Amino acid sequence: MKKKILALLCLVMVWALPSALQAKEYKPSVTLYGNLRYSIGFQDMTGLEDDEGWTAEDNASRFGIKASHGNEYGKVFIHLQTGSPSVDGGDAFTTRFFFGGLECEYGKLSFGRMSNAYKMPGVKIDPFYDTQTISSTGGFGKSGATYGLSPATNSFQNNTVQYVTPNFNGFKFVGSIAFDDGKPLENDMAWLAGGSYSKDGLTVGAVYADSPETQGIWAKFDPDSEAVRAYASYKGDGWKGGVSYENVNNGDDVNYFYVTGTAMMKKTDVSLSVGLVDGGSAEGMGITGGVAHHLLDNAKIYAQASWADLDMMDHAPYVFSVGMVYNFKYTAM
């Protein structure tokens, strides 16, 4: 069954290439990029003196390459991103994701290992993603989502096929399936579907994800689980904000609320987020705030604090950190 689905998708990709693509000149493009992220912080997660202290962390530094071949009517593409930790003992060039596909007037079809469409809306609104904070599980996090977003806002998805429609007057829709990693391979697969509307800086949307009874195929999902996310974001003149609500039935029925806002001055951003978790082992409330100063267009330094009041703990954990982010990009055409 799985082979038949994959074969059908390949045929759809070939059929979707418009005839104009064959008539125009192909143009290759290759982009190399990197993202160095490092921070020093102080954490107290338990209230015990022996468990508090300073920590220096790499915050998911990475290196990637993107390549495409085509023209304005359509193109094929690949995108590889690897982890490149800046600390001793880290394994350089470990795969974070690797996917490829086709993009044309009929939409975008991707397959491989990638961030799924349930994860990405949370990533986009979280200004503290991949920094030292109270994590989505209520513990210390050196990368990934801030408290108030679910653990499904982390990790990458194997064996995924995803289709995103063209833009229909601001509306876009997405559908995705993911296959199991078992050996021998089973016919189980997970699926998700969603849509969004964007206009004049405002984006609103929702996405639903479902895993089969036998396996939790989606990243951070148990077998026979499901989740829905509703979200909105807005970027105006000098500020931006976002909100996310999730209901995750992953053994426990848990609700996640996340609200964030950022004031964007000439070279300095001030951000604040509030997260609420109703149910599960991370139930409670958390606040994260920080200031980031842009030294250059592609480099910034920041200072921030993250705190949570968790029902499972008598102590309210907190993290203070200062860090830097440097980006580089080079495109050859």
> In this model, does residue 200 exceed pLDDT 80?
yes
Of the listed ranges 92-101, 140-149, 189-198, 226-235, the one predicted with least confidence: 92-101
Question: pLDDT by residue (tens digit) across 112-146?
Answer: 999 999 999 999 999 999 999 999 999 999 999 99
What is the end-to-end Cα distance of the chain in Å, rounded?
40
What total of structural domains would you count in the chain? 1
Of the listed ranges 43-47, 87-91, 120-124, the one predicted with least confidence: 87-91
pLDDT of residue 3: 46
Per-residue confidence band for 217, with pLDDT thresholds at 50, 70 and 90: confident
Residue 15 lies in domain: 2-332
Of the listed ranges 68-72, 96-100, 161-165, 185-189, the one predicted with least confidence: 185-189
Place of tokens 């991949």: 130
Q: What mean pLDDT is predicted for residues 30-51?
A: 89
Contact (CB, 8 A) for 75 and 26? no
pLDDT of residue 102: 95
Per-residue confidence band for 187, with pLDDT thresholds at 50, 70 and 90: low
Q: What mean pLDDT is predicted for residues 23-31?
A: 80
Per-residue confidence band for 214, with pLDDT thresholds at 50, 70 and 90: confident
Per-residue confidence band for 263, with pLDDT thresholds at 50, 70 and 90: very high
Residues 6+ apart with CB under 8 A from 125: 231, 233, 242, 243, 244, 258, 260
Question: pLDDT by residue (tens digit) across 264-314?
Answer: 999 999 999 999 999 999 999 999 999 999 999 999 999 999 999 999 888
User: pTM for this structure?
Assistant: 0.90
Q: What is the mean pLDDT of the chain?
A: 89
- The CATH number assigned to the domain holding 137 equals 2.40.160.10
Q: What mean pLDDT is predicted for residues 188-207?
A: 95
> In this model, does residue 223 exceed pLDDT 90?
no
Report which of 310, 315, 307, 290 is spatially closest to residue 126, judged by C-alpha positions: 290
